[in-house]
Amino acid sequence: MALRNVLKQNDPVLRKKSKEVTVFDSSLVNLFKDMEDTLKKEDGAGISAVQVGVLKRAFIIIDKKELVYVVNPQILSTKGKYKNLIEGCLSVPNKCGEVERPNEVVAKFQDLNGNFVERTFVGFSAKAFCHEYDHLDGILYIDKAIRMFDSYDEYYDYQDKLARLERKERKEKKK
């Protein structure tokens, strides 16, 4: 299909609330095909319609290497905390941040044909689901970030520093 431009963080459209999808037709299928092409080009883990300038409650995430097409999602329940806090976003390039997300999400949504689906997402997929779900309400991960970094390298340097301090503290306690 076609590649779409990914809106960047300062674009006011990203802060708008998306509208429920009521028509399941070829234009919705084409939107998802464009989003899929854009996601692959950008090498992301998910993309929402609002990120390509369309205010519809729709997104794609990757769950265990499978693309999941999500329309009109609802989060039914969440459980636990996902241990890998680091998160990035196609709309916030060259940055990442620590965000607490649930380790398990039970969701109800519609597929491309309007059929209802209930599915459980675990680990990274749960994090991706919540991240894209937030986009539909005009929320960016930077709004929830505990700590922000200018790059993944900066984040990993920070983690290394914390690990060294932890080891040093353990050694001192043993003395």
Domains of the chain in sequence order: 12-174 (3.90.45.10)
What the block records as the tokens of 133 is 């779900």
pLDDT tens digits, residue range 35-92?
Answer: 999 999 999 999 999 999 999 999 999 998 899 999 999 999 999 998 888 999 999 9
One-letter identity of residue 97: G
**What pLDDT score does 83 carry?**
82
State phi, psi for 93 to the nearest 5 degrees. Answer: -65, 150
Catalytic residues: 132
